[in-house]
Structure 1
């Protein structure tokens, strides 16, 4: 039995889907998982019906050879960055592209927090690889409009995690816990 609900009836359901990221997942994911499981099972049933009704279709393919494999794009790392020398050097800050911050972080912040960025706001950064939280300052540079994480960036991340030029990191804003989540996605190859 399918029940249609309006947008207002889903106010308790998070729109973030973070399945499969172990320690990076918060306790508020159950409603999202239930919604995802419902959607996945509905899709799977539809695919099964399509396969049964189309007896001349190659296994794993739908009408006209279209793949029926369901792929979930569960990648929370909306900000991915290859570490540059300037991120780990004497400038002691992680530079973040303005378009990524404006597109993925600021829409989740309230007006008071956004206003504070010009002077710098204290933010928590959860390192999900080491399960540790660090306090940094998040700020917008007036000269070029880019955003930076600084104050304790060098000690909390560069030195502690041994970041090197070419390492790829990922960041996203965890709305449920009001903090950034950080991970080292790929280490630079050693030549």
Structure 2
């Protein structure tokens, strides 16, 4: 008889949470550049980004950000993603986007990379 291995599956009834990066916004995130959590970005985003984007981060690359909001509204924006002084930063339009969307200090933002559409999805999780 063949040796059977036991599988340990973790099942839950809670909703799937796609946001691999979550961040509570600081004043500088809202009014300047959005600095992404380095460890989470390198762990969850870098491995799934196209290699050409990763290779050009030091120069800055234009990326699409798809904003997912409550209801049926969604919008696309083009921002610059750059690695600067060891930090991953969204700039080049981020502060305008944050102002348009009404983001405030201590709001929670969720982010993920969608490899099928080659863009980031961003969601305003919690508003204070």
With the length of structure 2 as denominator, give the TM-score of the two structures.
Answer: 0.84
Query: Which whole-Å CA distance do the structure 2 matches of 1:70 and 1:88 have between them?
Result: 35
Match of 2:104 among 157, 164, 167: 164
Counterpart in the other structure of 1:83: 25
Q: Of 135, 154, 171, which residue of structure 1 is paired with 2:95? A: 154
Task: For residue 110 of structure 1, report the CA deviation from its aligned partner.
Answer: 2.7
Cα deviations across residues 81-118 of structure 1 (Å, max 9, x unaligned)? 101011112xx210001111111111012322111100
Distance in 2, matches of 1:106 and 1:71, equals 30
TM normalised by structure 1 equals: 0.57
Shift of 1:72: 4.9
What secondary structure does 2:106 align onto? coil
Deviation at residue 154 of structure 1 after TM alignment: 1.1
Write the mapping of 1:105-184 to structure 2, written as runs, cut at 5 A: 105-129=45-69, 130-141=73-84, 143=85, 145-156=86-97, 158-184=98-124
User: RMSD across aligned C-alpha pairs, in angstroms?
Assistant: 1.6
SS in 2 for 1:160: helix
- Number of residues paired by the alignment? 116
Which structure's CA Rg is the greater one? 1
Provide the rounded CA distance (Å) in 2 between the counterparts of 1:172 and 1:159.
21
Query: Between Structure 1 and Structure 2, which shows a larger proportion of helix residues?
Result: 1
Contact 2:66 2:119 in 1 (8 A): yes
Give the Cα–Cα distance (whole angstroms) in 2 for the partners of residues 128 and 110 of structure 1: 22
Q: Which structure 2 residue ranges, 5 or more long, are not aligned?
A: 1-8
Offset of residue 161 of structure 1: 0.7
Equivalent of 1:98 in 18, 38, 55 = 38
Change in Cα spacing, 1:115 to 1:70, as seen in structure 2 (3 Å) is closer
> Which aligned pairs between 1:45-84 and structure 2 lie closer than 5 A?
70-72=12-14, 74-84=16-26
